[in-house]
Structure 1
């Protein structure tokens, strides 16, 4: 079979690595991919070039295309491929609005009884700030549209919240994506992520993971696209995961069918276990990054067969290793703001795996080209052991001081394992 992965980051490299293990794939392509993805044939087509991707898929008689990032989804790649009769595992732009508009996602959740935080929607800065003064802090400010994982401010004070409002609505730091904002109740509890393969009313959950959004240790610093992750999550009971699939993922999939926007693809739920049960923080319409990099290595199934089974309406019978996986992101100095480029990339030992994200070749040398440069991961019996192996591996390499990473990923997770099938 010929298979195409759309995207260029660490998540897509993880997909490529997992798919490369399938003996059913003759040619594995990544568009545009990156120079670290040696397992695939990289093609110089940008991920939002829907016309170019469709033409390439038709030329190469692609048996399946898998979409990693969010921007192609909102550009209608699934719609175009379906029109052309090209097999694709991705939601239409109408279904991907679950991620593309936080207001839309909130409205769907409220309408269909999916538990989430209380919220209000604003386009006027003064009205939003007046509401914030009434509600008090801590409080959460979110850009409605796509902002590369950086459009959320968890404000600890009213003043910080008001600055976030001005930044989005007045200074327009997120352009049109921040033209509408959501002001949301602050929830306390245990955060985790749960991804699922979805085809209309059918939902097949993966194992839970936890990512770390803040740039620095102890969850300090600005929000990022993710500085590391681990899976599974020890202190989320199996019963809670079952309830989450039924009351959140399944209910949302059913709602999208009822709304005339049936969802096919990966439904990602960013969740928090509160004293009042699990609630949704956000939905994504694709694999999470960096959660994918620690979930897929624990999957025993042939990933290609999983995609094919789900599209055919069959239960893929997901199986998981009785292990844990921890991944730590190395980022360029300055990230998530303006960051340094062309940092030399060290060679890591064989004890860990590497997912390359923001890298390129300069005069034959692998150097950084993005904010999040790569993820170093390890599989072990426990989360802590996997984390120890990753950090030991990082310490052993001659690394440029302009690369930084958090040193507390997976350090406080007690390990208990989910059943083989959720």
Structure 2
């Protein structure tokens, strides 16, 4: 769908590379520009896990992109970058505000020679304002935005989510903004500056509960009692221990719970008691669920059509029939020849997800190709390699 769109991605861990990957999945020619020693997410790995030398962070965000290793600080490197940017449809970066402008490639500088460019930038706190230069990292933004304060149990501490959901959401928003700007360009012929921030992405993630709070909803604690999912949830919506595991119960009426859980005391309560007496109901349901195993509870919950779900961990996901049907996990051979498992694109178009055309590449795997397409001849390219203006994999025999 994005065939013919060229994206130059000056991105590093995590929101920027992920946003670029979304566009690459949809068919854009995404050229990932990294330093000659590799970007941060190539050299650092969550859980310190590398597969045949490739960071799992690269495996997370590197599919369907071509790799160009470039010394952006050298005069020749800047000239190469300038040539690539002259014909780019979109440029992406997630450095701290002002970093690209200091190299000569901020939005206004690029717009001067490529007026139709869509220039997308995501930072921790936005391009301006009193905190623009603070370090932006997922955990810090969960703390800053109220997300951590509103996650967890009332009898526990503020709790960060395990995954980097702020970065991930920022990536989705940025990709959406780029697509909107590209569509707008087809009508106006003009480019656009698209700016995102982890801070506003963290706020946007909480739109339902935060809007309720801003408009007068209140609670005694920032987090719910007795396993309640949220300070604003109706009881007993939350995750509760069973005799052998954990079970999520969502938006169930007291009357239905009375039947499914054999709790006659709930039968006479109106639906509104889910809010009016939520702590009492949640505690009672939590104590009742702990008396049987998860498997024991499932038939009664299903019969009463109560929304529920056993809590699964990562080891359970490969056996999930629905995930398998959706093609969520892609088992393939990595660029280094070792088997790797990637996550597939999360959307389907006419019934199919976009394929993995390129596994995450070795650093500089397409450097020669990209420079050749930009008009450099073989001798110039080899001179750039020798001077370390660019990094490239071994030349073909």
Could you state the TM-score of these two structures normalised by the residue count of structure 1? 0.30
Q: Of Structure 1 and Structure 2, which has the larger fraction of its residues in helix?
A: 2
Q: Mark the structure with the bigger radius of gyration.
A: 2
Q: Of Structure 1 and Structure 2, which has the larger fraction of its residues in strand?
A: 1
